[in-house]
Amino acid sequence: MTRTDRGGALLLLRHGQSVSNAADAFTGWSDVPLSELGVAQAGGAATVLRDLGVRPTCVHTSLLRRSISTAEIVTDALGRGWVPVHRSWRLNERHYGALTGRDKKAVAAEVDAASFRAWRRSWAAAPPPMTDPAAALMYADERYTGLAPEVRPHTESLADVWARMLPYWSDVLFPELLAGETPLLVGHGNTLRAFVMFLEGLGPVEVERLDIPTAVPMRYRLDRRGNPIVDPGGRYLDPAGADERVRTGPTRNT
């Protein structure tokens, strides 16, 4: 039996509620903090992991503080603040282009319902792009100065998110799993939709219906080819909490 078979697993966790989630705004690559509820949700995720005896051996986050803060709360609560941490723009939330920072209800009032839904939920549709001046301001941030201009998005579809996260999977996460590690990826609603779509082989119609609730840990045990091993408990380590959060929100992928 390989070390991976004995214990290695991929842990996925959407960050806790952010202040933009609470305000029902498109967030994307804008850098906003957790809300008070989001901080509490991150602590709750740590409790679920601790009670089940699940311990990450390394952590991966985006470059956005709602992801970073959630990861820090979880690892500190687990007494795992010493494990290696890796951060990457490839794990950032989907870039919402010209919608970034805008109130969703205001946008919905300006466009037809089909376009609004496609921008939010579909596989292939991307929102209108961010203007060049707005993008220049965003990418002047020090965390992105080393990012090549050709990979700096002005907007993204879910398919674009899929394309940018796949190298991180193949080059970083999957080798860790093969080595028997238990990586914790603290991501965002759309990056995790892309990961779940990839891992479970979902199609564009299925992923349109997929919601990832805030701060409910997921676990995937994978074979050495990267295929999920059937888990009778499903993807969520707190299924009741996941169902409740999807019903009551906020499950908005921003």
The tens digit of pLDDT for each residue in 81-117 reads 999 999 999 999 999 999 999 999 999 999 999 999 9
d(CA 252, CA 26): 9
pLDDT at residue 232, as a whole number = 61
Helix axis angle, 65-77 to 36-51, nearest 10°: 40
Instruction: Give the CATH class of 3-248.
Output: alpha beta
pLDDT at residue 1, as a whole number = 30
Residue 15 annotated among the catalytic residues of the structure: yes
pLDDT at residue 233, as a whole number = 60
Instruction: Select which of 15, 60, 95, 154 is catalytic.
Output: 15
Pairing between β-strand 183-187 and β-strand 10-14 as defined by DSSP bridges: parallel
Instruction: Select which of 36, 72, 93, 200 is catalytic.
Output: 93
Which positions of the chain have pLDDT values less than 50? 1-7, 251
pLDDT at residue 231, as a whole number = 74
Residue 95 annotated among the catalytic residues of the structure: no
**Residue 66, both tokens:** 């709602």
